[in-house]
Amino acid sequence: MAGDSTDSDGAQGDETVVRRDRFSGGPAREFLSSLAGDERIFEADLAVDRAHVVMLAEQEIISDEEAGTILDALADVESAGHGALGGGEDVHEAIESAVIDHVGPDGGKMHTARSRNDEVAACIRYRLRADLLEAAETTLGLRETLIEAAAEHTDTLMPGYTHLQPAQPITVGHFLMSYASTISRDTARLLDAYDRTNESPLGGAAFAGTPFDIDRERTAALLGFDGVVANSMDASSARDFLAESTAALATHATTLSGLAEDIIIFANKGYVDLSDDYSSTSSIMPQKKNPDTLELTRAVAGDAIGELTGLLSTLKGLPRAYNRDLQRAHPHTFRAVDAVVEASAVAAGAVSTATWNESLLADEAGAGFSTATGIADLLAMAGLPFRTAHEVVALAAEEAEDAETSVSAALLDSATEEVLGESLFEYVDRSAVESALDPAQSVDSRDSQGGPAAAAVESSIAGARETLSADSEALADRRSALDDAETALQEAVDEYV
């Protein structure tokens, strides 16, 4: 049966022994080998091997005894660990060689009805699932931190910026919730990427299927995959799941870099004080407290974007089906996930331990006539076209700047006279103008859905808490499906050993 069928590419059966004789060395040996980096998929490969062997026995492609000996050998390989593997082109070949060393040539039956091409694709997906869940979990932690900090600061005024210029007063709670909202979509993108990663390519073989009566659904179920990647060529060679996952990671890293940058700027202005744990000092200037952790967080976006670019450049223009270029594809994603998970957790720590300088923030909230839009809104509500209202307020702002004073109701009145030939107070009460000039009242007035008024922020906090708990459940469901599959695989293996 399968043991003696080989091909030059995704060979089957006793290929390892054949390869050992013919391709044992050469100057490019190191260059060809992915064995060291494959440590990350060592456990994945053992699981994939086990599921495949169980299925082969269930389908009577190999005998129960053969399955038992191979599964025993795999247990030994696992306890010896990745470091104990002999040399080889990759972890798949090295584990197979170790199994053959343990049980003799029949160990080679493990590779019946598959190829390293579907095998490696299954291993990458299997391992990446855990990484994506960890990444999603980290985003949940960061969201929780942002939401809790926002809940404490629904009344803490601060200046809001556009173009880095003071624009309109907002609150710290509103600012923090803006990031919690973006990051909830980062979580969703990671979970989406997870769902498309969590499909089994196993059984695609080299790329053209197999004549053996395999059960692809069974190996998929034993490995906790939600289904199979049906087309065998697609299964063995497509890496769009890596592109999607890395893009989701790079997107989250980009969000983090914006958050880090904002807090760096706010720390510079004295608006926020980072805990010593998240700061560094200078080796020469003893007074310095630098936001290094956030600067590194900001830089991780560069790493993640670089990995995404590297990955897409590797994949671009690759013909179907398997090409060895693919060996250099998934390491990009693994490096990206490691960097981004770390940065996301650090950002959460920096935010949760930071203190906001409430009195300075309140003083600055109205700086630069940041309530101007509120005055224009007030005039527009009184029936003036918004464009005319804008003109009046702009003139008052200009006059205040020339006179080096702040905008007052009196100044606004004289600007209204200039533009309209009428008093401002024909349109609105003086008290309404005065309250619109006040940053706190300006914030209170902007109570539209999602706006900065305390009640609006509180309701977005309530919504965000609900989404957060739904997302934690979605994550827990995925984790428990994987745990169940691990138990089912162990039980299926126990039938043979």
Chain residues in the site for ligand ARG (CB under 6 A): 9-10, 34, 90, 116-117, 120, 322, 324, 326-327
Other C-beta atoms within 10 Å of 402: how many? 8
Q: Could you tell me the smallest distance in angstroms from the CB atom of residue 334 to ligand ARG?
A: 12
| DSSP-assigned letter for residue 169 | E
Enumerate residues 6+ apart whose C-beta is below 8 A from 302.
Answer: none
Q: Could you tell me the smallest distance in angstroms from the CB atom of residue 93 to ligand ARG?
A: 8
Of the pair 93, 391, the CB lying nearest ligand ARG is at: 93
Strand partners, 168: 160
Residue type, 25: G
SS3 state at 160: strand
Other C-beta atoms within 10 Å of 455: how many? 11
Q: Could you tell me the smallest distance in angstroms from the CB atom of residue 65 to ligand ARG?
A: 29
Q: Could you tell me the smallest distance in angstroms from the CB atom of residue 335 to ligand ARG?
A: 15
Angstrom CA distances, 340 to 97, 139, 149, 183, stand at 35, 10, 22, 13
Q: What are phi and psi of 159, to 5 degrees?
A: -75, 140
What would you report as the CA-atom Rg of the chain, rounded to the nearest whole angstrom? 31
Give CA angle at 230 (229, 236), nearest 5°.
Answer: 60
Catalytically active residues, by annotation: 163, 282
State the chain's maximal CA–CA distance in angstroms: 102
Other C-beta atoms within 10 Å of 109: how many? 26
Q: Could you tell me the smallest distance in angstroms from the CB atom of residue 318 to ligand ARG?
A: 12
Of the pair 316, 324, the CB lying nearest ligand ARG is at: 324
Of the pair 23, 386, the CB lying nearest ligand ARG is at: 23
SS3 state at 162: strand
